[in-house]
Amino acid sequence: MTSCIMFQGTGSHVGKSVLVAALCRIFLQDGYKVAPFKSQNMALNSYVTADGGEMGRAQVVQAEAAGLAPSVLMNPVLLKPTGQATSQVIVLGKPIGNLSAREYHEKYNMQALGVVEEALNKLKSEFEVIVIEGAGSPAEVNLQATEIVNMRIARMADCPVFLIADIDKGGALASVVGTLELLDPSDRARVKGIVINKFRGDLKLFQPAVDFLEQKTGIPVLGVIPYFQGFRVQEEDTIPEEMLKAGRQTVENKIDVVVINLPHISNFTDFDPLEDEPDVQLRYVGKANKIGNPDIIIIPGSKNTIHDLVFLEKSGMAEAILKQDKRGIPIIGICGGFQILGRELHDPQHTESDIDSIKGLGLLNMTTTFEPDKITTQVQAEIIGSGQLLSGTSGQLVKGYEIHMGRSELRDGVQPAFRIIERSTKQTDLLDGAVREDGRVFGTYIHGIFDNDSFRRNIIDLIREQKGWGPLKADDILTVHEQRDKDFNKLADVVRNSLDMEKVYEIMGINPEEKQPLVSGDS
C-alpha cells in the first residue's frame, strides 16, 4: 500500500519544493521507492522528458533527489506565465493553449482534475511513498472552490499535511495561526505537523515560540529547519534574492559571468553549473549600469522574447550589451536569448505577443519567426561551429533539450553551431544555433548546454587563457551529477537532523525498521 505525505505552505516561496526534495532523498536513503508529485505548478523553469513532455523544473529536481528519471505524471499541469494575467497551459507535457487567469480558474482547471487524479493513481501503483507539494497557500479563500493543488489533492490522496512557514521573512507564527484559522475544519484536521523553515539563530531562544504554536494550534511542531548554506538545490521559479545581491560586485581571481536578468527570464537553472564552478562569479544583472566589465555575457531564455527585447531597448540594456561586444566581450544566447541576438523577430500569428515584428540586437545575421507548434525534445548534438568560444570542441557531443516556438534562419556571416544527431531517441540530422564569423558570439536552442562538463569547462578555460591564467586542475572540479548528488545528500542530512523523522513515519503509518536502508551517502 502506498503512503502519501503532503507539504503545504503559509505562502509562496516558503521552501516547499526544497523540503519535498529533501524528503525524497531521505526516503530513498531509507530504502523506499519514492516519487514526488505536484498536481499544478506555475513556473517558467521547465524541462523536457525523454518522451518529449514538458514539466516543471522543481519536480525534475525532486525526481533526481528520489533517484528517478522525470515523468510528466509528477507534474500533470504546468502553467507558464506569458503576461500579467495569462499563462500557457500544459497538460501531461503538451500545451493546450494560452488562457487568462479568469478563464483558467472559472472554466478549465476543474476539467483537469480527472487528469490529475489519474496521474496520481499511476504513481501510487508504482511507488511505496509519494511526497506531494502544494502551491501558494491553502488559505486563499477566493480560490478554495476551484483549486486543484492544495487541500483538494490532500483529500484525493487521503494524506496527512505538514504546514511550512518561512521564518526568515518574519511573521511566521501569525502566518501559521492565520492559515489554520481560515481552513475548513475537516481540512484543518488533516494538518498533522508544523515545520518552521529557514531559521537563523539560537534554537533555545526560539523554544517559547514552538511551545506557543503547539498550545495555540494543538498541532506538533515537527522541526525547525536551519537556513542552510554551503550547498545549493535548484530553485523553482525565482532567482534567489541572495544571488541577486551577491551578483552586484565582482570577485577577484574569478571569471565574471553576467546573465542578463530579463523580465520574463525562463530556465535560469541552465546556469547553475556555472555558478558551481570554483573559479566563476555568476551575476544576474537587470540594469545597464550594473553590467560593469564582465568576461562573458549570457542572454538567457525567455517566455516572452519580443517583450523582453522591448525592455532591453527601453532600459538601455541593449546599448550596454552592444558596447560590450565592441569591447571584444564574448556573448552567448540560449533559446530566447539566441533569438534576441538576431537581426529581426517576426510573430505574424501573434503566437507570443501582440507585436508583429521587432529588430533584434543584430549581433547574429539571422531572422526568427514564431510558429504555433512548440518543439519540446531531448537532443544529442555534435559541435560543428568554430571560432573563439568553440575552439577545440569541434566534434564533441553534447546533450540537452529544446523548448521553443521560434524557427531561426541564418544569413551570410554566420554558421551553425551544432548538428543535432538525435531527437527524443530518434536519429536525425538537423542544424542548430549560429556562430558569428569571429567566433565570439554564438547562440543555440539547446537548454542544459552547460550541464555538459567538458563543454562548460572548455569555455571557462578559454577565457582563463585569454586573461593569462592557467587551466584549473581537474581534481578540483566536480561533474554536474557529482555536485548535485553531493548537495542532495547534504540537504537530506540537514533536514533529517532537524525534523522529527520518527514522528513523520508514525504519522504516515510506516515502520522504517522494516526497510533495508541504503549505505549512508548512497543515492
Residues 387 and 393: their CA atoms lie apart, in Å, by: 10
Residues 346 and 357: their CA atoms lie apart, in Å, by: 4
Residues 398 and 396: their CA atoms lie apart, in Å, by: 7
CB 297 within 8 A of CB 329: yes
447 catalytic per annotation: yes
The C-alpha angle with vertex 82 and arms to 117 and 376, in degrees rounded to 5, equals 65
Beta bridge mates, 380: 399, 422
Which amino acid appears at position 388 of this protein? Q
Q: How many CB atoms lie within 10 A of CB 503?
A: 14
Given 264, 335, 404, 481, the catalytic residue: 335
Residues 107 and 14: their CA atoms lie apart, in Å, by: 29
The set of cell numbers assigned to 363 is 549581433
Q: Is 128 helix (H, G, I), strand (E, B) or coil?
A: coil
- CB contact set of 480 (below 8 Å; sequence gap of 6+): 273, 276, 451, 453
E-state strands within 411-458: 414-415, 418-423, 426-432, 434-436, 441-444
4 catalytic per annotation: no
Write out the catalytic residue numbers.
335, 447
